[in-house]
Structure 1
């Protein structure tokens, strides 16, 4: 184990990447982009419900831990109903995660693996993105890292009464803030119990039974109060059903799930995906040979999550397993350092030299895109669905008697932003139908879309708001251009509004 306070070149480099990661997230947070579809749906639940009502199944096909929802509710009550307040906790969780990974990697990773893991964590696109989104995935990462920092140092120790109280309180609360916290808690503790020397196992088990019972009780309450009700949402459950293995022997699913992890949520693209997988495999071998306990600590949460997926209880896919990213990154970094650190020997000069050069290539290949992408965010923060400036434009240019129609895809955005700009529900009409995004549009579908605008025929000024991509603009406006005249159009990323004269 390295001393956290021994500041060498690698530690200084790690600190530099932490600062870089904080800067990227701060710039993206301060950019204050509009809520996108999923965020708006979750925000409506948070804004319109009481703390007790947030225990009930959420509307709009949303699911989130009640602890996370309560923190969000408190945030808007203290700081106001704004995007800044709604994204404050995910943003702070992202910053805490950076610091937690710095401490964890400096303690338990090899010397130069730490700055590589932190560099990747600071800059990989999905991690940066979820660090400023109104979703629980940023806090999932934070909870996983904080629990690891808590449990790894005391893996085989007999805890005193004060420590026992601290552990069952922290673990019990973490379960309510982060759904996958149970996989980190259960995975680490189970791994340590299994590997404890036989003569010490009984004492360790009896010492920690109060902690385990408290965690189980906390999770049981969470399950029966919220999770079991969420599982009754067929749309939500069906959306993940295809992501589960077919049977306990479905090895192809396992290989596919692990392979997909490097594309999303890790975010490696193209051939770099394969490079990252290779580095991960090498890192697993290198870490296992260097310190089996640390290797087990990094892989135990992964294994318990996979077991839950085989039991069809938790999908091992995409953003739901973002909390596992730090553990994967440390193993990837260990693989890179193992390749680079190969020293030459007289009888094997060429092979060793080749391995070292390949290791340098792997390092550059893994870092170049994330660092470049994150650096660009500092100068040009990312936008997604800028509905707020669209509605502000309508508000500032609207005349008495104007009508407002919102295409179906913008319904959640309108419900959230309209009250903030002084609109009541009678001031606009929400669409009830959307054309299919892909494939040929059938005559019946086209006719159903056309019926959306029948109430506005004969109106002089109709503002028609679309929350869609640019590729859909021509199709959506083609019918309106047949029945009326476009007077004005205003566009933003992922949304636009057209003013039409439909009086003729």
Structure 2
């Protein structure tokens, strides 16, 4: 006998189908957006160029030790990217293939998890933030490990949902030793997620008074700890103890506990940045986060112990490591954590909306406005604008207009990118007379840019091209003071400039 369909149940069914279609549409658009931006082949930036130099200069085995040129990358990620270079050539598409695929898989996993744990309307909004948010789109399409960090985090949570929740024995321990150790070498922040997963298994075994399971969980955790210890000594210890890196990230280590008014201001700024990267930098976004996150936190701790462990503990562990100056809260380094924050926010919004209809409409309105402000869908039809200058276009302009005898100056911030396009990229860009300035101490108190230009003038250069990766007018003013500016070609967040020095200048 078939169940009788009532108008109310039919309406719910129609709504569920509608929300499901919206979610699938957002997923498809998010995947297409990443693919389009990847195909645009925008210029590499400084860190990408320095990282790729390691891959071209080293063997696969050489990637399992500290990298050069102030770069860090998990070895297994490095191996995958280097493999793409060998298979598909050294160009923007091949070097970013692993990250963009990781970003797409992360979006697919998040789609699956929001549908599992959130009500359809809330799941749609959470998915929209990840599908179209700038930080997810930007760092999901560059040759760095940030997208794979996010993939590793959600993949570990997905495995934990299916493996060992009812029984944790030798087979489950074997699976997790393998998965956990591989994930550590693939993505360092996965240790934060593994901590939450391990605690969940331990609590479950303790509640069942299953002493054998407790032994297997502890043994698995010990294997992870040994694996991470080896990883730390080989790849992290030097960076953690580096005075340069400690100073560079000083403002991005969590200021907790705050010991002064300045620390309180810094702490608020850091928490605001987490909100900014998750849901956007507006007062409405801050309000949405301030309302929903505490509610999600309390409800997960009370009702959803699995999610409390695998979402909240990794966040807490990351923040604790940052407070101890072991992990930076730089936006790209916490990319793995942002989907977890979105799930917590979603859970809080869901709980509030289920109890107060007015609250559901208020939160939905806030989410629509915030999401509309943050989305990046306009880049389906025009070049993506990241936080970095289009150095490649500036170099191409110089190559097009350069005359025999022209000198080309790439100061230390541009030099790695210029080296990549003139020495490593396939095909290579031809730039005769190119000077690549190395970073490092100078035999003078002049700033590096001025020193490099004056050195070229001393050597008798009659026409000098400058390639600059900022909108700062300082280099253009310096060129005008030293001679006559002959041409200037603006590019995104930078420019190429040609000038003729009036006479050689002594330093």
* Common fold: TM-score over 0.5: yes
Contact 2:464 2:499 in 1 (8 A): yes
TM superposition shift of 1:428: 1.9
1:14-413 equivalent positions in 2, closer than 5 A = 14-154=23-163, 156-159=165-168, 161-194=170-203, 196-244=205-253, 257-264=270-277, 266-288=279-301, 290-342=303-355, 353=358, 355-371=359-375, 374-383=376-385, 384-413=388-417
* Match of residue 349 from structure 1: none
TM superposition shift of 1:319: 2.1
SS at match of 1:382: coil
TM superposition shift of 1:451: 6.8
Contact 1:27 1:381 in 2 (8 A): no
TM superposition shift of 1:151: 0.9
| Structure 2 CA distance for partners of 1:495 and 1:108, relative to 1, 3 Å | same
Contact 2:198 2:217 in 1 (8 A): no
TM superposition shift of 1:393: 2.6
* Match of residue 463 from structure 2: 462
Count of matched residue positions in the alignment of Structure 1 and Structure 2: 478
* Match of residue 452 from structure 1: 453
TM superposition shift of 1:78: 1.2
SS at match of 2:499: strand
SS at match of 1:264: helix
TM superposition shift of 1:450: 6.3
| Structure 2 CA distance for partners of 1:130 and 1:245, relative to 1, 3 Å | closer
Contact 1:76 1:85 in 2 (8 A): yes
| 1:31-71 deviation digits (Å, cap 9, x = unpaired) | 11001122222222222222233233222322221121111
C-alpha distance in 2 between matches for 1:47 and 1:266: 37
Contact 1:87 1:133 in 2 (8 A): yes
**TM-score with structure 2 setting the length:** 0.84
| Structure 2 CA distance for partners of 1:408 and 1:247, relative to 1, 3 Å | closer
SS at match of 1:62: coil
SS at match of 1:489: strand
SS at match of 1:453: helix
SS at match of 2:96: helix
Alignment root-mean-square deviation, CA: 3.1
| Structure 2 CA distance for partners of 1:266 and 1:322, relative to 1, 3 Å | farther
| Structure 2 CA distance for partners of 1:232 and 1:462, relative to 1, 3 Å | farther
| Structure 2 CA distance for partners of 1:165 and 1:197, relative to 1, 3 Å | closer
TM superposition shift of 1:265: 5.3
Contact 1:262 1:277 in 2 (8 A): no
| Structure 2 CA distance for partners of 1:108 and 1:58, relative to 1, 3 Å | same
| Structure 2 CA distance for partners of 1:422 and 1:317, relative to 1, 3 Å | closer
**Runs of at least 5 residues in structure 1 that lack an aligned partner in the other structure:** 1-5, 344-351, 435-443
TM superposition shift of 1:316: 4.0
| Structure 2 CA distance for partners of 1:247 and 1:115, relative to 1, 3 Å | closer
TM superposition shift of 1:301: 1.2
SS at match of 2:415: helix
C-alpha distance in 2 between matches for 1:303 and 1:38: 28
C-alpha distance in 2 between matches for 1:277 and 1:400: 61
| 1:286-326 deviation digits (Å, cap 9, x = unpaired) | 44555343333321211222332343322344222211111
1:416-431 equivalent positions in 2, closer than 5 A = 416-419=420-423, 420=425, 427-431=433-437
Contact 2:465 2:497 in 1 (8 A): yes
C-alpha distance in 1 between matches for 2:415 and 2:448: 21
After superposing the two structures, state which structure 1 stretch, 114-123 or 192-201, moved more.
192-201
* Match of residue 492 from structure 1: 491
Contact 2:299 2:348 in 1 (8 A): yes
Contact 1:193 1:201 in 2 (8 A): no
**TM-score with structure 1 setting the length:** 0.85
C-alpha distance in 2 between matches for 1:362 and 1:334: 16
| 1:63-100 deviation digits (Å, cap 9, x = unpaired) | 22112111111111111111111111110010000111
